[in-house]
């Protein structure tokens, strides 16, 4: 009689290709989530002292040249909305989600292919398109988890420091941030699925992210850039502030659209080519 297996049941995360992504991240994901919560906590704890000097800072900003205001995003440190936008939503959270999203997107196909373990996965009866779609779903799920953590942290850790914000507005901004990560993470997924090269995938997506940020940032004052802003995912993310005005579903739709087009490219490109060895 054979001895018992060390695993009595298959862990939930190992029952699907997408689930395995979280199994692979079971050590790093808690750090991401804890890091985001800690970041929000530190910003919240600075709020009481920032608010006191906020008016003076705003006057300083108003006197600054236009391009500097573009770059620092015309911060308003006198209101909770302005403070959290300039500290967290203008750059920090989108960068975190872009790093997570692009890294995961580049690893999804190309990273696994470079390590050589894609052969094993594709020798089982699963279609290549299922691998791509499940990994895309995991990418979306991971980004939503990260931005939901930011949302919860703001609403839970803010009020003790008198940083009170509208839950709906924060949720909309967090959703937009995760869609931004998904759009560019999907670009990394697509480049990786087409080329099999992880660094190329991450590099192209990171360059696209940077370019899109610059087009958005300088597009408001540099005339010839203005018409290009519609093509910038960062512009879709930051053009409207749901903390202060109504949420524009079109912004979310554009970002989701980019992600879906990239997904389609990834499926088609990966299905057509040879899988590399090691």
Partner 1 sequence: MAEPVIETEGLTKSYGKRRGIVDVSLVVRRGEVFGFLGPNGAGKTTTIRTLLDLIRPTGGTARIFGLDSRRDSLEIRRRVGYLPGELALWERMTGAELLAFLGELRGDVDRRSIAELADRLECDLSVRIGSLSHGSKQKIALIQAFMHRPELLILDEPTVGLDPLMQEEFQRLVAEARAEGRTVFLSSHILREVERTCDRVGIIREGRLVAVEDIGDLRARELRVLDLRFARPVPASAFLGLPGIQEVEAQGDGIRLTVAGPLDAAVKAAARYEVVDLTSHEPALEEIFLRFYGGRDGA
Residues that bind partner 1 (CB under 8 A): 2-7, 10-11, 14-17, 20, 23-24, 115-117, 119-127, 274-275, 277-278
CA–CA distances in Å: residue 254 to residues 77, 121, 177, 238: 30, 33, 13, 12
Question: With respect to partner 1, which residue has the nearer C-beta, 20 or 248?
Answer: 20
Quote the crossing angle between the two packed helices 249-272 and 167-195, to the nearest 10°. Answer: 20
The residues near 5 (Cβ < 8 Å, ≥ 6 apart) are none
Question: With respect to partner 1, which residue has the nearer C-beta, 5 or 62?
Answer: 5
Closest contact distance (angstroms) between CB of 117 and partner 1 is 4
With CA atoms as reference, report the closest residue to 249 among 141, 184, 157, 176: 176
Question: With respect to partner 1, which residue has the nearer C-beta, 91 or 122?
Answer: 122
Give, for 51, the enclosing helix (H) or strand (E).
helix 29-63
Question: With respect to partner 1, which residue has the nearer C-beta, 7 or 245?
Answer: 7
| Secondary structure (DSSP) of 155-190 | HHHSGGGT----HHHHHHHHHHHHHHHHHHHHHHHH
Question: With respect to partner 1, which residue has the nearer C-beta, 5 or 245?
Answer: 5
Q: Is the CB of residue 176 less than 8 Å from the CB of residue 237? A: yes
Closest contact distance (angstroms) between CB of 163 and partner 1 is 39
Task: Give SS3 for 4.
Answer: coil
Closest contact distance (angstroms) between CB of 191 and partner 1 is 20
Closest contact distance (angstroms) between CB of 21 and partner 1 is 11
Closest contact distance (angstroms) between CB of 195 and partner 1 is 16
């Amino acid at each position: 009689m054979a001895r018992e297996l060390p695993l009595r049941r298959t862990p939930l995360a190992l029952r699907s290709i997408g689930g395995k992504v979280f199994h692979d991240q079971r050590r790093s994901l808690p750090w991401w989530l804890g890091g985001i919560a800690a970041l929000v906590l530190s910003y919240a704890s600075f709020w009481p002292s920032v608010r006191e000097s906020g008016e003076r800072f705003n006057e300083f900003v108003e006197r600054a040249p236009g391009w500097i205001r573009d770059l620092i995003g015309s911060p308003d440190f006198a209101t909770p909305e302005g403070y959290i936008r300039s500290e967290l939503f203008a750059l920090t959270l989108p960068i975190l989600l872009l790093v997570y999203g692009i890294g995961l997107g580049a690893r999804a196909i190309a990273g696994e292919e470079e390590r050589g373990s894609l052969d094993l996965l594709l020798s089982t009866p699963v279609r290549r398109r299922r691998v791509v779609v499940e990994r895309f779903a995991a990418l979306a799920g991971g980004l939503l988890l990260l931005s939901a953590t930011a949302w919860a942290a703001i609403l839970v850790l803010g009020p003790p420091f008198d940083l009170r914000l509208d839950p709906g507005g924060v949720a909309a901004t967090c959703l937009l941030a995760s869609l931004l990560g998904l759009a560019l993470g999907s670009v990394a997924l697509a480049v990786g699925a087409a080329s099999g090269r992880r660094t190329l995938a991450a590099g192209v997506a990171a360059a696209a992210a940077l370019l899109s940020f610059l087009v958005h940032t300088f597009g408001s004052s540099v005339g010839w850039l203005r018409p290009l802003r519609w093509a910038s995912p960062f512009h879709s993310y930051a053009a409207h502030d749901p903390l202060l005005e109504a949420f524009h579903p079109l912004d979310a739709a554009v970002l989701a659209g980019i992600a879906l087009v990239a997904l389609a490219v990834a499926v088609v490109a990966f299905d057509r080519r040879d899988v590399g060895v090691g």
